[in-house]
Amino acid sequence: MTKLRNASLAVAAVFLSSAAFTAPVLAEAKNVVLVHGALVDGSGWRKVYDILTKDGYNVSIVQQPLTGLDQDVAATKRVLAQQTGDTVLVGHSYGGTVITAAGDDPKVKALVYVAALQPEKGETTGGLIGTMPSPSNDIKPTDDGFLFLDSAKFAADFGADLPKDEAEFMARSQMPVAVTAFQATVPTAAWHGRPSYGIVAKEDKALSPELQRFMYKRSGANVTEIDGSHALYISQAEAVAKVIEKAAKAAK
Assign residue 101 the CATH number of its domain: 3.40.50.1820
Asked if the structure places residue 1 within a domain, the reply is no
Q: Is there a domain that residue 144 lies in? A: yes
pLDDT digits (tens, 9 = 90+) for 227-248: 999 999 999 999 999 999 999 9
Compare 5 and 72 and report the one with higher pLDDT: 72
Relative to beta strand 196-201, strand 108-114 is parallel
**In the prediction, which pLDDT does 135 show?**
84
Inter-residue contact 198 to 221 (CB < 8 Å):
yes
Q: 126-142, pLDDT tens digit by residue?
A: 999 999 988 888 999 99
Percent of the chain with pLDDT over 90: 86
Average pLDDT, the chain: 91
**Residues 174/40, Cβ–Cβ less than 8 Å:** yes
Residue 2 belongs to a domain: no
DSSP reduced 3-state for 34: strand
If one counts the domains in the chain, the total is 1
pLDDT digits (tens, 9 = 90+) for 166-205: 999 999 999 999 999 999 999 999 999 999 999 999 999 9
Residue 112 sits in which domain range? 27-250
d(Cα 199, Cα 224) in Å, to the nearest integer?
A: 5
16 pLDDT above the threshold of 50: no
pTM for the model: 0.89
The rounded Cα 29 to chain-centroid distance in angstroms is 14
Cβ atoms of 129 and 152 closer than 8 Å = no
Q: CA 21 to CA 103: how far, in whole Å? A: 36
Domain membership of residue 5 (yes or no) is no
Is 140 domain-assigned? Answer: yes
Mean pLDDT (whole number) for 96-113:
97
Relative to beta strand 139-141, strand 146-149 is antiparallel
